[in-house]
Amino acid sequence: MIWTPLTTIMTVLGIFGLALMLFSATKAYSIVRKSAHASLEEKYLLEKDYYLLSTVVWIILASRIVASGLFWATNESLIALIPGAMCQFGVYQAGSPYSWVDQGIKLFVTIVYGIWLTLDYINRRTKGSPLISSLSRLFILMTPLLLIDTVLDLLFYGSVEAVTVPCCRIVFDQTSAVPCPYCFVFHDAPLFLMVIVCYGLSIAAVVWSLAIRHYLKVGEIEPIGMAAIRRLVTFSLVFAIIGTIALVPAILQVIGAGAFLH
């Protein structure tokens, strides 16, 4: 492993998230197991346990958001330390195969996590908290995915060494149909990063609203659920519009640049 301040922070965040997830999974399992046959007093105690679970999950979310932002910054900082690397593509080669899987998992985790937190927000605003059992069960199903995300961070940064990797220009040469995606987005046409983020958030909001519709008939969440769906649809439209507006200068940036820099 190449020890730097950023790789150290990523490792600490990974271990921290792993410990919290294991703690939360045991709480969620206890709630699911007891909720079906719980008395009124026991349901009150389970509700208290659930709100502890919910608080911990929000902390996990915060740590994973920080980790996702640092993921890019850490990879950028490693470019200069890996011989032959000209962009993040070289860093990913040095940390292969964990690096490629890690990147894909992070995108999927964001959408899945958003579903849970959106439903938790609705549950908190609904009388009787009718989604406690469903959300606890959903968290148990999410736990393997979150564990994979955290473990892949640890494996990726634990396996990166200062080995010589081929420059991205060798892989994406003049005959390639597409340029190096990392050079293109982060260096040659950075405005496309805004386009990707905006469209990604727009699609995620649609997925979250569809998840809410699945639970509308549970308890009394329909009024609050429909209000949340309307907000998410508006959110989706706003980011789709921003992404489309940003697409025009992004295309002009590419045209004005002529040939790609990398």
Output DSSP code: residue 37: T
| Residue 163 near residue 82, CB atoms below 8 Å | yes
User: Who's near 210: CB < 8 A, 6+ residues apart?
Assistant: none
pLDDT of residue 155: 87
pLDDT of residue 160: 84
pLDDT of residue 260: 47
Distance CA 153, CA 9 (A): 11
pLDDT at residue 112 greater than cutoff 90: no
Residue 196 three-state SS: helix
What is the rounded average pLDDT of the residues 40-53?
Answer: 82
Average pLDDT of the chain? 84
- 158-186: pLDDT as tens digits: 888 888 887 777 777 767 767 777 777 77
Token couple for 166: 């081929």
pLDDT at residue 119 greater than cutoff 80: yes
Distance CA 215, CA 225 (A): 8
pLDDT at residue 105 greater than cutoff 50: yes
Instruction: Give CA angle at 151 (207, 84), nearest 5°.
Output: 100
Range name among 101-105, 141-145, 152-156, 250-254 with the lowest pLDDT average = 250-254
pLDDT at residue 102 greater than cutoff 70: yes
pLDDT band at residue 71, thresholds of 50, 70 and 90? Answer: confident
pLDDT at residue 36 greater than cutoff 80: no
pLDDT of residue 262: 46
pLDDT at residue 93 greater than cutoff 80: yes
Cis bond leading into 83, ω under 30°? no
| Residue 117 near residue 62, CB atoms below 8 Å | no
pLDDT at residue 230 greater than cutoff 90: yes
pLDDT of residue 236: 95
pLDDT of residue 257: 54
If 0-12 CB within 10 Å is exposed, 13-18 middle and 19+ buried, where does residue 48 land? Answer: exposed
Instruction: Tell me the H-state helices in the chain.
Output: 5-35, 40-78, 88-94, 98-124, 132-159, 168-171, 181-183, 191-214, 222-257
pLDDT of residue 259: 47
Could you count the other beta carbons within 10 Å of the beta carbon of residue 219?
17
| Residue 60 near residue 28, CB atoms below 8 Å | no
pLDDT of residue 235: 95
